[in-house]
Amino acid sequence: MKKKQLLSIISIIILIAVYGYEHFLNSKEEGFLIENGKTLKESTNEYFLPTSTTNQVVHHQNYSLSYNEKHEQAEWVAYELKANHLSRTNHKRPYFEIDNAVKTKAAHWRNYKKSGYDKGHLCPAGDRRFSKSAHDETFLTSNISPQEHQFNAGIWNRLEQKVRYWAKKNNGVFVITGGVLEDNLKTIGSEYVSVPNRFYKVILDKTNGKIKMLAFLIPHKESKLPLYKFVVTVDEVEAITGIDFFKELEDSIEEKLESSSSYKNWSF
């Protein structure tokens, strides 16, 4: 009897040891992905990354994001879109994958299944067609938010196309985008992925050393209105999101640009 008990105890110890070691390896791998991502974008600060309200910033090779575990999506995704990034190449769409670089675990794509919502890209695949790896990197679940199809394929798509136009015209822009994550939002799936009521996009252009900004705040529904109708100040987006978008700028420049909703220097 004692021998059987001893064997059972040894078996349990071995199982615990194996599980613990596997957990250690997984944590080590995720940590490597996060730290390795940081080394891929050493010059990130020059592109004015926003603050993170969650202290969970992930740097992928072609965009960065701040993940909000409560809402199971990024509160912002930021990337530079240069003129030479624009390409007409059509890569085969890959399957969506869970972003293992998110320490708190990114939401599973199954949350969207039969939800009635699109897996709406925040960093669009169309902005990353210059290579297959860059394109496929946008199909991580940390880079999507639930979007109504008519919104995703309609006004939101129009705005994404306009950003590409500005990137080409100005030889590159910096883009920050996300859903407005607030309390009491509708959710989908077993992980309660929030469905934002509004989406924002903030654009910075630094052509010839002269900085200009433009911010959009769009209700989550299709609209036929022209895009300029949704232009707001960066200050307004900061107020509703709690995010500081361009803290690296000199204060006097930041205050002047972020309080303006003028779009006269942008071609619509």
Whole-number pLDDT of residue 34? 35
Is 97 a residue whose pLDDT tops 90? yes
Task: Give me the chain's average pLDDT, please.
Answer: 85
DSSP one-letter string for the chain: -HHHHHHHHHHHHHHHHHHHHHHHHHHHHHHHHHHHHHHHTTTGGGG-PPP-SSS-EEE-SS-EEEEETTTTEEEEEEEEE-GGG-----PPPPPPB--TT-TT-PPPGGGGTTSS-EEEESS-GGG-TTSHHHHHHTTBGGGEEEE-HHHHTTHHHHHHHHHHHHHHHTT-EEEEEEE---TT-EEETTTTEEE-SEEEEEEEE-GGG--EEEEEEEESS---S-GGGGEE-HHHHHHHH---S-TTS-HHHHHHHHT----TTS--
Q: What is the CATH number of domain 44-258?
A: 3.40.570.10
Residue boundaries of the structural domains of the chain? 1-40, 44-258
Is 76 a residue whose pLDDT tops 70? yes
Is 232 a residue whose pLDDT tops 80? yes
Task: Please report which confidence band the pLDDT of residue 21 belongs to, taking 50, 70 and 90 as the band edges.
Answer: very low
Is 78 a residue whose pLDDT tops 90? yes
Task: Please report which confidence band the pLDDT of residue 15 belongs to, taking 50, 70 and 90 as the band edges.
Answer: low
Is 29 a residue whose pLDDT tops 90? no
The reported pTM is: 0.82
Is 257 a residue whose pLDDT tops 90? no
